[in-house]
Amino acid sequence: MTLPTQGPPADDPTCYSRFVNEWFCWQYVEDRRGEILDALAEHVAITLAAVALGVLLALPLALLARRFPRLETAVLGFSTGLYTIPSLALLPLLVPFTGLSAATVVIGLGLYALTILVRALLDGLRSVPDDVREAATGLGYGRARLLVRVELPLALPVVMAGLRVATVSTVALTTIGTLVAYGGLGDLISHGVQRDFRAELLTAALLCVALAALLDVVLVVTQRLLTPWTRGAGA
């Protein structure tokens, strides 16, 4: 009796079956659309939350460094030193306080973003001409109003440049959240590596790149809308 020859099941898409395992397979995207979209949505949410947290932490640190120049070296050293902590160590250090949750990843990435955001905010605030500050003070602007109405708007071009770098790097770093099962697209990448699942690995990696590019474009457009005077200067 002759045994039948083993082959791929008739209903199994050949481009990502275990017999072929191609790098690109649109059938995989269609079949796993829900899973991919869920991972993408989680990736976006964690990235935006981490960048927002980074900005909220970086602003007071930058103001402190500007107000007290003697503390500038300490503030910049602190924010830079955080980036040197390996993610394999930082996230486990946070787990006892935040558990295996998305908050662990958001806090970790927010701290990493301080390296770029603190310096960008400090440089942006220092780029505001002194005569502009003096004129605003002469018009009766208090310190808080001066900061919100004059300094931060004029510092936006420099700050947004740093924010773009921080956002793009955070998109990539979000993948480390797979250590606590909240890595967004990083979970798919990790699974693809472990199972040698090429279509899953490449699809998740390409989506990370596309997401970083999209967020960068959004920030560029936002900057142009918030700083119309820079368009006139460039022309």
Q: Is residue 150 domain-resident?
A: yes
Residue 235's pLDDT is 46
For residue range 177-231, list pLDDT tens digits in order. 888 888 888 888 888 788 877 888 888 899 999 999 999 999 999 888 887 776 6
For residue range 124-164, list pLDDT tens digits in order. 888 888 777 778 777 777 788 888 787 888 888 889 999 99
Report which of residues 149 and 21 the model is more confident about.
149
Q: How far is CA 20 from CA 8, 24, 212, 222, in A?
A: 9, 11, 30, 44
**In sequence order, what are the residues at sequence separation of 6 or more whose Cβ sits closer than 8 angstroms to the Cβ of residue 104?**
91, 94, 95, 98, 177, 180, 182
- CATH code, domain carrying 153: 1.10.3720.10
Question: Is the predicted pLDDT of residue 35 greater than 50, yes or no?
Answer: yes
Confidence of residue 81 (pLDDT cuts 50, 70, 90): confident
Instruction: Give the domain range for residue 74.
Output: 32-223
Number of residues that make up the chain: 235
Q: Is residue 139 domain-resident?
A: yes
Residue that has been written with the tokens 């990736």 in this structure: 43
Tally of CA atoms within 13 A in the half-sphere of 108 that contains its CB: 32
Q: Is residue 76 domain-resident?
A: yes
Report which of residues 43 and 8 the model is more confident about.
43
Largest CA distance in the chain: 101
Q: What is the mean pLDDT of residues 56-76?
A: 89
Q: What is the mean pLDDT of residues 49-70?
A: 91
For the chain, the domain total comes to: 1
Q: How far is CA 184 from CA 3, 89, 126, in A?
A: 45, 20, 37
Q: What is the mean pLDDT of residues 57-74?
A: 89
Give the three-class secondary structure for 10.
coil
Q: Is residue 22 domain-resident?
A: no
Q: Is residue 9 domain-resident?
A: no
Q: Is residue 19 domain-resident?
A: no
Residue 11's pLDDT is 56
- The two three-digit tokens of residue 19, written as one number: 């017999």
Q: Is residue 15 domain-resident?
A: no
Give the 3-state DSSP-derived string for 105-143, with helices as H, strands as E and coil as C: HHHHHHHHHHHHHHHHHHHHHHCCCHHHHHHHHHCCCCH
Q: Is residue 21 domain-resident?
A: no
Amino acid (1-letter code) at residue 65: A
